[in-house]
Structure 1
């Protein structure tokens, strides 16, 4: 994998992991009993985006490391995943 593909894979994975990590340790205005006028009570109170970005980067590095280890170290690929849909292309019943 060249470095451009690696950066693209890291970028896409980072954004996916970000949306999975954002709800962790999130406190809403309703939980703090301090709802700002004009906002919804479920709006976050101090979202701590830097902390979320650091967590996201760490989780993404682990996920990409596992992916890289499986594909480069063990040589696994999409062909190693069992076929879920049966192959009906043979007309003789095989």
Structure 2
């Protein structure tokens, strides 16, 4: 696998991780007892910390990307392992399991 492919896959994992982690740890003004600005939405976050979110997303993306690359190198899970219905259409004969 090329290093540019690993960087692209890491970037995809990072964005996915950031969106996944976005709602965790966020509190509204009502929850922390802070005063709201007139016209502010009730659900607006009062303690949003983008640096902390970026750090968490970086760590999670590194772990997921590491697992992905390790699976690519060692072949733990292959596409044929994910075919739950036994429909091997489109796979070459040598990749089909013998039953």
State the TM-score bracket (shorter-chain normalisation).
0.7 to 0.9
Q: Give the conservation status (yes or no) of the 8 Å contact 2:28–2:45.
A: yes
Correspondences of 1:6-45 after superposition (within 5 Å): 6-33=6-33, 34-45=35-46
CA distance in 2, matches of 1:52, 1:30: 22
Correspondences of 1:1-94 after superposition (within 5 Å): 1-33=1-33, 34-74=35-75, 76-84=77-85, 86=87
**TM-score normalised by L of structure 1:** 0.79
Shift in Å at residue 21 of structure 1? 0.5
CA distance in 2, matches of 1:13, 1:2: 17
**TM-score normalised by L of structure 2:** 0.76
CA distance in 2, matches of 1:85, 1:31: 51
Partner secondary structure for residue 20 of structure 2: helix
Aligned residues: 88
- Alignment RMSD: 2.0
Higher normalized contact order (CA 8 Å, seq sep 6+, divided by chain length)? 2
Q: Structure 1, residues 48-91: CA drift from partner, whole Å, max 9, x if none?
A: 11000000000011111111112212354323322436468xxx
| Structure 2 unaligned blocks of 5 or more | 90-99
